[in-house]
Amino acid sequence: MGEIMMKTHPRFAVVGHPNKGKSSIVSALALDDTVQISDIPGTTSKKRSFPLKVDGKILYELIDTPGFQRARRVLAWLEKHDVPADKKFEVVQMFVSEHRDDPRFNDEIELLEPIMDGAGIIYIVDGSKPYGEEYEAEMEVLRWTGQPSMALINHIEEADYSLEWKRALGQYFKMVRTFNPMTINLAQHVSILESMAQLKEEWIAPVKASIKLFEQYQEQKLEESSQAITKLLYDALSHVEELSMQSDEASEEEKERIEENYKEYLRNLEIDTQKKIENIWNHGHLQKKQTLLTFEDLDLFSEESASVFGLTRIELLITGATSGAVTGAGIDLLFAGHTLLLGGTIGALVGGIGAYFGFNELSEIKVMGQVLGKRYLQMGPMKNRNFSYIVLGRAIFHTSSVANRSHAIRSVAALTMDNRFKETWLDDDLKTSLEKYHKKFRSNNEIASETLKDYEILIKSIVSKSIGN
């Protein structure tokens, strides 16, 4: 009767008092933004399993449970049975069997059942509230189960009573850790998993295997994000928009329409990529203030937007020169206010100046002919050199914000962009490397898959740095 059926993967029941952050911790550790989180006591009334899967394999399973409601009554019932330590597990099983249909103990049954089925215990307390003896009954009930257990001290508010909590929790649990589900990163996640492995000898190997797969999973998400950003930049810079003309000469209305269609395509391309990135990082339900993703109501194509995320005048001069006749040491020849021009640098510099002063001119609108004699307007590929850095800067910022966002956060994401972000990743050497690829993308020539892969590797290095990997 005392034997527990072992699962093929580690399972952990997250338990504790109501409103101590149990669901937030489940959401953060399971990378699942569907976990119901609320400040209203009793929101979680039934246990619910949240397995973390990678390529169809469950790494570990977290079970969100209701909070204790009648822990003292449960403990009193257990203590009526004077049994040695090795029999206490069976007494808890008896309590669950006899009270399974008793509505008074619904919450206790819901949280005890997975534990009696072999799940380890993760006990959650709020370290911003003082320790009280009322918690001892539920901790003692958990000790009666004999299951491996650890305690996590969450801080819902600013006050800190961690020291007294650690002293008390150390009497009941094998391991006590401080954990903030709102600010969890990869290193902290792995650290918690390593702690879980130490709870039970049989869990060491499977949890370590899970950690390895989890780290590979993070690397996979990084690669998929880099692929999505690479496709965004290539499609945005190489896209050609077409519009059939009603007569031999294009009207102003037709010119305005093709330009608006061109811009709309680019905007939708960015939105679709954002959604893809959010799904990659398991944030498919992310609510965000989309207007803030356009520089707080600044138009993506305005000169003011370029000054926020694009290149400055001197930066455009540098990329114009270094993507043309001058490379490497040629950067040293260009200084703000002190420009030295030598030989072949002049032609490249003219292109740089044109890119800066022609910002509002995204691409030429051309009148093209067809075999049957009909004519059409064509706009693209992208002519403006600044545009690629605006799109890339926004994509890097969005990806790093999503990747570093805890799944426990339920507030609307306010992703505010400003010119400080550019300085964290865009240096002169990187601009030179990027512009080499952007020039090819804008050429409208067929791009080799090796070229796109090389660009993707470059983007991955930028994204990895931006999210702190």
Q: Sketch the domain layout of the chain as residue ranges.
A: 11-199, 220-466
Per-residue confidence (pLDDT) for residue 358, from 0 to 100: 44
- The pLDDT of residue 372 is 56
Burial 69-90 (b: 16+ CB within 10 A, else e): bbbeebbebbeeeeeeeeebbe
AA identity, residue 324: G
Alpha-carbon Rg for the chain, nearest whole angstrom, is 30
Please give the C-alpha separations between residue 221 and each of 27, 226, 466, in angstroms, as whole numbers: 18, 9, 14
Q: What architecture does CATH give domain 11-199?
A: 3-Layer(aba) Sandwich (3.40)
Task: Specify which residues 243 forms β-bridges with.
Answer: 377
Tokens read off for 51: 């397995």
Distance CA 362, CA 380 (A): 8
**C-alpha span between 303 and 164 (Å, rounded):** 57
Distant-in-sequence contacts of 397-402, Cβ < 8 A, 24+ apart: 397/421, 397/466, 398/274, 398/277, 398/293, 399/225, 399/229, 399/277, 399/463, 399/466, 399/467, 400/463, 400/466, 400/467, 402/277, 402/278, 402/281, 402/283, 402/286
Q: Are 44 and 66 in contact (CB under 8 A)?
A: yes
**Which residues of the chain, if any, have pLDDT below 70?**
1-7, 37-45, 288-302, 304, 308, 312-362, 369-373, 412-425, 469
Whether the CB-CB separation of 109 and 101 falls below 8 Å is answered with no
Beta strands 375-379 and 365-369: pairing type? antiparallel
| Rounded CA separation 397/293 (Å) | 10
pTM: 0.81
- pLDDT for res 366: 77
Q: Which two three-digit tokens encode residue 180?
A: 């903030």
Q: In whole angstroms, what is the distance from residue 61 CA to residue 9 CA?
A: 7
Distance CA 464, CA 354 (A): 33
> How confident is the model at residue 37, as a pLDDT?
64
